[in-house]
Amino acid sequence: MGIQIANLLKNKAAIYGASATNKTFRNAFLEAVNSVVDDINARLGISLDEVTSTDTDVDIDAAGARVVFIQGIDVYIADTGVWTIKDPAKASRNYERSLGQLWQSYTRGIFVSPGLGNTITEA
C-alpha cells in the first residue's frame, strides 16, 4: 500500500483551514507532493512517478515514507507564502532528517532480508 494522495490532501486541507476542493490549495498541494517525490527520487535513486491527480497513490512502501510526505508537504506549502507553519526552519530540519531516515530504511530493506541477514558480502 502506497501513499494515498486524496487522504493526505484532506488531512492537510483541514490542518491549514483550507477546503480540499479549493483550486489554489490543491495546486499548491500537488506542487508540494511533486517536490517531495523529486526529493525522494534524488535521495533514494528511484523513479516515483509525478503526481498529476489527487485520485492516485504514490507507490512507495518503505518505512517512514508517509512521515516524509507529511513533513515535506508542510515545508513546500509554507514556501508558497500563502499558508504558514509555526517554525519553517525546524520543519525543514525535521524533513531533512526524515529523508535521511527513509534512505536508511530503504537501503536496509534492499540489503537485509528477514532470515537471510545482510546480503552484502565483503571481498
On whether residue 93 sits in a domain, the answer given is yes
The tally of domains found in the chain comes to: 1
Q: What is the residue range of 85's domain? A: 3-118
Q: What angle do CA 94, 26, 79 make, to 5 degrees?
A: 40
Cell 500537488 belongs to 30
- Cell for 55? 485520485
On whether residue 123 sits in a domain, the answer given is no
* Rounded Cα–Cα distance for residues 123 and 76 (Å): 43
On whether residue 54 sits in a domain, the answer given is yes
Residue predicted with more confidence, 63 or 17: 17
For 35-76, the pLDDT digits (tens) are: 999 999 998 888 889 999 999 998 887 667 888 888 999 999
User: What is the distance of C-alpha 16 from the center of its chain?
Assistant: 17
For 77-110, the pLDDT digits (tens) are: 988 888 877 888 888 898 999 898 888 888 776 5
Diameter of the chain measured on Cα atoms: 57
